[in-house]
Amino acid sequence: MRKSLSIIVIILFGIFLSLIAIDLTFGVPDNTGMDDYFIQNGQEQIATNNIVTTVVFDYRGFDTLGESTVLFTAVIGVALMYRKLIKGDADENE
């Protein structure tokens, strides 16, 4: 009884999600102003064929700087943690 009930709930939830997914329109956003600007002017302004790299490293370069800083901080954290774990290894990790 309990099993059949859960199966029915799962099927209903699946139908619910499918109805949402059918209504979605992929690749057709409402506001395309920024995308059009990047595609139109990226090659002329930055002289790059890869528009994704243009956005990541030039138009949104500040975001990438934060990303690199997060990676740096994460590595420092891992190094500190293992330095505490391994007592005898401390001098070599200086």
Partner 1 sequence: MRMSKIVRFSADMLFGAILIFGFYIIMHGHLTPGGGFQGGAVVATGAALVIVAYSYEEVLGMIKKAGLMLQESAGLVMFAGVALIAIGLGTTFFFNFLANSGSLFGMSVPYGPNSGELNTAGVLPLMNIAVGIEVWGGLAIVILYMLSGISKAEEV
> Interface with partner 1 by CB under 8 A: which residues?
43-50, 52-54, 56-58, 61-62, 64-65, 67-69, 71-72, 74-75, 78-79, 82, 85-86, 88-89, 92-93
Side chain identity at residue 70, one-letter code: V
For partner 1, the closer of residues 31 and 49 by Cβ is: 49
- State how far the Cα of 74 lies from the Cα of 58, in Å rounded to an integer: 24
For partner 1, the closer of residues 14 and 66 by Cβ is: 66
For partner 1, the closer of residues 6 and 69 by Cβ is: 69
17: left (phi over 0), alpha (psi -120 to 50) or beta: alpha
